[in-house]
Amino acid sequence: MTEPVLNTSPKTWDEVKTTTCYMCACRCGIKVYLKDGTVKYIEGNRDHPVNKGVICGKGASGIMQHYSPARLSKPLIRVGERGSGEFREIEWEEALRTATLWLSEVRNSDPKKLAFFTGRDQSQGLTGWWATQFGTPNYAAHGGFCSVNMAAAGLYTFGGSFWEFGEPDWKHTKYFLLFGVAEDHASNPIKTGLGKLKARGAKVVSINPIRTGYSAIADEWIGIRPGTDGLFVGALIHELLSAQKIDGDYLQRYTNAPWLVIENPGGADDGLFARTAQGSALVLDHHSGTPMPALSPDALPRLMGRFKLPDGRRVVTSFQLIAERFLSPDWAPEAVTARCGVPAATIRRIAAELAEVAFSQQVELDIPWTDHLGRFHEKTVGRPVSMHAMRGISAHANGFQTCRTLHLLQIILGTIDVPGGFRYKPPFPKPAPPGVKPAGKPGQVKPNTPLPGPPLGFVTSPDDLLIDADGHPQRIDKAYSWDAPLAAHGMMHMVITNAAKKDPYGIDVLFMYMVNMSWNSAMNVPDTLKYLTQKDPATGDYTIPRIIYSDAYASEMVHYADLILPDTTYLERWDCISLLDRPISEADGPADSIRQPVVEPDRDVRPFQEVLLDLGARLGLPGMTRTDGSPRYPGGYADYIVNHERAPGLGPLAGFRGSNGKAQGRGAPNPEQLQHYIDNGCHWFYELPDHMKYYRHVNWAYLDWATFFGFVGKPDPIIHQLYCEPLQKFRLAAAGHGKVVPPEAHRARIRDHFDPIPFWYPPFEGQMVSEAEYPMHAVTQRPMAMYHSWGSQNAWLRQILGRNWLYMARERAGELGIADGDWVTVTSHHGMIKAQAKLMDGVNPDTAWTWNAIGKRAGAWGLSPDAPEAKKGFLLNHLISELLPEREGGYRYSNSDPVTGQAAWYDLRVRIEKAAGQEPVSAPQFATLKKLKRAK
């Protein structure tokens, strides 16, 4: 039989364009194959620094995202009641005029009555600046309910953090600890890294209650109990300190371990660093036996000891205090094993393995470098132990201190920005913490006036809080108040509740972008829906009078807005992935990238960023208008990307600047810049020379260069803050010291949680509800092929995962009389859901879990109302209260970390029982959302 003739070189495309993916926050480079203007195929871009040619399950399904029937097609204005889905299609001019009218009323009277919150967007450089120009402090993106604990703990400790702030040295690491769920942060870079580690024979240890995803291929899985990672890590520190397996040189030179802390119990300076008149912290120099400024090149600082300064003050080194804490028997493996659910022998063995790799297998690269004090180092030496953590650490009320404990472990091993350790990605390191303070104090919010600074920043003492003279919050979400003093990413999860309760005050307009706050992004969905539709009996108007929402898709949130501004898909827009925003840099150097429109929208939609600039011009915001009142960026977002400057020569994109396009980092705007990016595959990457690739927190050459690039204000070393003095300033305030002190009711909470040395406390929900009544933990994991709520509208991805189950340990289920496939009720102190159980062994026995954001509300996302996502899928969100149970005095704090305001999603405690009714439908079921007009 003859074979058919085959064309093995078909050309099924007529054009290939590069751009940047948007199926998650990795932002991989992609190549889009087009035929007659239709998207045919999307693959990873081999030349791109982030993904180097690979792509993930979501990215390769981008076509179905782009052509989703859930796409919105025209601006809408609500004509029925909120939630009814009754909208009228309007023209863009009417939509923009309406928005301008609503927003200008607010800006003319009291700009803080606008709450402007964005979701997982990647243009916070623009949106934050817009909020500043508008003059409202009520701005944030989604970081407060994502991972601010991780970001803040890292930034306050070593001027970097996990995820887009840094990454393990995949090339040299020999021992890798992965804490908690990480499958969506980061996606391809971690997968690629794990592949490299496994190929090299490096050991991968996963600490996660659930053994799925990346944990599945770990050499060792430690099925820890949720919320106890801090104890596990502290016990590792205990073991290492007990055996003196710590990097003394690193601690002495690059950390505040030797800095002298004043011991003056009851005094206003107790626990602060002893400083020179010029403000430099002191160390005790071993040569002279006298205190010297910490950065003196000649000082040989003592790491331990208590001393008396010449002026009579008693001081102790930071490290002594740290050692006293962690050498205590409270931190011994035997003392934590029961709470963690990890055998003491395992903890001891992991500590021994860490010590062996760190101190017997050090990596030496033939790269000479010079440190901040001018000391020349012939080689670049590192301890090849690295770590990564994300939401599993972050999403607990003890997450900030737990993450600080983790950084303490990294630092005593001397593994930050060294070969084989954890490496910064530029623009990090930044000063610890970065110097920018939040604006929005009383008197800084004025009609028709921009804020004097950005709404988000880093407080270093109570003086920086956004509170009034009586200690009341100034922001709608209570960020930067005594409720959450270091809320560096805001607290979006509190906005709707607080606005509905007018606590601290009511707002006039809620303006949101790309965040599903009536569904999977909200804690307590049932009450959130109530708040969104609640009316003021006096006026008959909604308590949140106006809601403007922009999204590309018919998410659950659309039905609860009054004015819908339909966004484009990611293939129809300009974007910049900027170093001023959430960077995509590599450890080897800074990178940024753009999206270019590879297809034209076939609907009457506009990119949100374009709309925001248009609104800014219509409102006359100073940065967005010229003196004659005309728009500053008539060419829209592309115009802004190229021509906006934050400081002379510094703009959204660092590459191809200057009139000839040859300047990097700093240079005049280049009108041809976007074309340069397109010619270069839509990205720019600057590889640092070898001597600037490590020890960058103290690397003289790097810090000089980073100053030129605008990453740091001046080339000062970034000394790791093991002892966090800003926290102590809050504790002193709680003891009544200083100008700004907390009201009596807040004092104990501040005193107890603002410990300058990392520590552990049980998650709040566990402390406040009965463990006997709610004996189990319930958490979510992230499926690698889904990103938040976007995935399950995707025709291909929903075939892979169209519904979720409640997974639990086989043995525990057996004790509870629950069989595989049974429908069960899951009850928290706040609510109850019904879900279908699946049994497995690779899960901590006290933990039940499910995939995040698979459950959909019937009628949303262009799916048929009987879609499995709606009928069998479910959310844990309904069980999670955004408020903690009442404390003495009746006040209810938010269900958040007391330091940063991070939403404590994973503190949830539940009881699981076989459901009385076994009909195969999840509960609760909400009324089916009315179908919106479909795009063609």
Closest approach of other proteins to the CB of residue 302, in Å: 7
- If binding is defined by CB under 8 A, does position 12 make contact with other proteins? yes
Burial 834-869, CB ≥16 within 10 A → b, else e: bbbbbbbebbbbbbbbbbbbbbbbbbbbbbeeebbb
Closest approach of other proteins to the CB of residue 731, in Å: 22
- If binding is defined by CB under 8 A, does position 353 make contact with other proteins? yes
Which residue's CB is nearer to other proteins, number 459 or number 839? Answer: 839
Which residue's CB is nearer to other proteins, number 153 or number 210? Answer: 210
Closest approach of other proteins to the CB of residue 205, in Å: 8
Closest approach of other proteins to the CB of residue 284, in Å: 7
- Rounded to 5 degrees, φ, ψ at 732 are -65, -40
Q: Which of residues 727-746 bind other proteins (CB under 8 A)?
A: none
Under a CB-based contact definition with an 8 Å cutoff, are residues 847 and 779 in contact?
A: yes
Under a CB-based contact definition with an 8 Å cutoff, are residues 476 and 507 in contact?
A: yes
Residue in 15, 37, 46, 687 binding other proteins, rule: CB under 8 A: 46
Q: Which of residues 122-141 bind other proteins (CB under 8 A)?
A: none
Closest approach of other proteins to the CB of residue 861, in Å: 9
Stretch that binds other proteins, among 320-328, 460-468, 515-523, 886-894 (CB under 8 A): 320-328
Judge if the upstream peptide bond of residue 301 is cis by omega within 30 degrees of 0: no
Closest approach of other proteins to the CB of residue 422, in Å: 20
Fill in the amino acid letter for 714: K
Cα distance between residue 419 and residue 169, in whole Å:
7
- If binding is defined by CB under 8 A, does position 701 make contact with other proteins? no
Which residue's CB is nearer to other proteins, number 712 or number 809? Answer: 809
- If binding is defined by CB under 8 A, does position 324 make contact with other proteins? yes
- If binding is defined by CB under 8 A, does position 67 make contact with other proteins? no
Stretch that binds other proteins, among 33-41, 458-466, 523-531, 532-540 (CB under 8 A): 33-41
3-state secondary structure 124-148: HHHHHHHHHHHCCCCEECHHHHCCH
Which residue's CB is nearer to other proteins, number 223 or number 419? Answer: 223
Which residue's CB is nearer to other proteins, number 298 or number 815? Answer: 298
Residue in 265, 277, 287, 647 binding other proteins, rule: CB under 8 A: 287
What SS3 class is residue 866? Answer: coil
Closest approach of other proteins to the CB of residue 746, in Å: 33
Cα distance between residue 532 and residue 641, in whole Å:
35
Size of the site for other proteins (CB under 8 A): 109
Cα distance between residue 905 and residue 782, in whole Å:
14
- If binding is defined by CB under 8 A, does position 628 make contact with other proteins? no
Cα distance between residue 29 and residue 819, in whole Å:
45
Q: Which residues pair with 29 in a beta bridge?
A: 20
- If binding is defined by CB under 8 A, does position 212 make contact with other proteins? yes
- If binding is defined by CB under 8 A, does position 331 make contact with other proteins? no
Under a CB-based contact definition with an 8 Å cutoff, are residues 607 and 567 in contact?
A: yes
- If binding is defined by CB under 8 A, does position 784 make contact with other proteins? yes
- If binding is defined by CB under 8 A, does position 377 make contact with other proteins? no
| Tally of CB atoms within 10 A around 221 | 18
Range list of H helices, 762-901: 764-768, 797-800, 810-815, 868-871
Residue in 18, 20, 61, 894 binding other proteins, rule: CB under 8 A: 61
Q: Which residue has the tokens 């995935």?
A: 791
Stretch that binds other proteins, among 236-244, 458-466, 717-725, 916-924 (CB under 8 A): 236-244
Judge if the upstream peptide bond of residue 504 is cis by omega within 30 degrees of 0: yes
- If binding is defined by CB under 8 A, does position 929 make contact with other proteins? no
Q: Which residue has the tokens 């209650």?
A: 209
Residues in the chain: 936
Provide CB contacts within 8 A for 397, sequence distance 6+: 763, 764, 765, 895, 896, 897, 898, 902, 904, 907
- If binding is defined by CB under 8 A, does position 360 make contact with other proteins? no
- If binding is defined by CB under 8 A, does position 240 make contact with other proteins? yes
Q: Which residues pair with 593 in a beta bridge?
A: 577, 683
Instruction: Identify the helix (H) or strand (E) that includes residue 249.
Output: helix 248-254
Residue in 34, 53, 506, 534 binding other proteins, rule: CB under 8 A: 53
Provide CB contacts within 8 A for 530, sequence distance 6+: 500
In the shown chain, the binding pattern of residues 251 to 270 toward other proteins, with x for contact by CB under 8 A and - for none, equals -x------------------
Q: How far is CA 587 from the centre of its chain?
A: 19
Stretch that binds other proteins, among 272-280, 459-467, 646-654, 863-871 (CB under 8 A): 863-871
3-state secondary structure 802-831: CCCCEEEEHHHHHHCCCCCCCEEEEECCCC
Stretch that binds other proteins, among 248-256, 272-280, 429-437, 903-911 (CB under 8 A): 248-256
- If binding is defined by CB under 8 A, does position 348 make contact with other proteins? yes
Stretch that binds other proteins, among 123-131, 206-214, 525-533, 580-588 (CB under 8 A): 206-214
- If binding is defined by CB under 8 A, does position 1 make contact with other proteins? yes
Q: Which of residues 788-847 bind other proteins (CB under 8 A)?
A: 793, 795-800, 802, 840-842
Which residue's CB is nearer to other proteins, number 123 or number 317? Answer: 317
Closest approach of other proteins to the CB of residue 759, in Å: 18
Strand 139-140 and strand 114-118: the pairing is: parallel
Residue in 79, 101, 216, 338 binding other proteins, rule: CB under 8 A: 216
CA-based end-to-end distance of the chain: 47
- If binding is defined by CB under 8 A, does position 63 make contact with other proteins? yes
- If binding is defined by CB under 8 A, does position 545 make contact with other proteins? no
Residue in 17, 19, 44, 856 binding other proteins, rule: CB under 8 A: 44
Closest approach of other proteins to the CB of residue 917, in Å: 21
Q: Which of residues 156-195 bind other proteins (CB under 8 A)?
A: 183, 187-188, 191-192, 194-195
Residue in 77, 272, 295, 300 binding other proteins, rule: CB under 8 A: 300
Stretch that binds other proteins, among 205-213, 543-551, 627-635, 665-673 (CB under 8 A): 205-213
Under a CB-based contact definition with an 8 Å cutoff, are residues 108 and 448 in contact?
A: yes
- If binding is defined by CB under 8 A, does position 208 make contact with other proteins? no
> What secondary structure letter does DSSP report for 423?
E
Residue in 34, 43, 105, 623 binding other proteins, rule: CB under 8 A: 43
Residue in 103, 146, 321, 323 binding other proteins, rule: CB under 8 A: 323
- If binding is defined by CB under 8 A, does position 469 make contact with other proteins? no
Stretch that binds other proteins, among 113-121, 297-305, 508-516, 640-648 (CB under 8 A): 297-305
- If binding is defined by CB under 8 A, does position 887 make contact with other proteins? no
Of 853, 67, 864, 935, the closest CA to residue 566 belongs to 935
Of 526, 295, 39, 793, the closest CA to residue 30 belongs to 39
Of 330, 398, 451, 385, the closest CA to residue 149 belongs to 398
Which residue's CB is nearer to other proteins, number 616 or number 868? Answer: 868
Residue in 77, 110, 198, 269 binding other proteins, rule: CB under 8 A: 198
Cα distance between residue 429 and residue 746, in whole Å:
33
- If binding is defined by CB under 8 A, does position 355 make contact with other proteins? yes
Of 713, 718, 511, the closest CA to residue 612 belongs to 511
- If binding is defined by CB under 8 A, does position 890 make contact with other proteins? no
Helices 333-340/344-360 angle, 10° precision: 120
Provide CB contacts within 8 A for 331, sequence distance 6+: 231, 234, 235, 237, 238, 325
Closest approach of other proteins to the CB of residue 764, in Å: 31
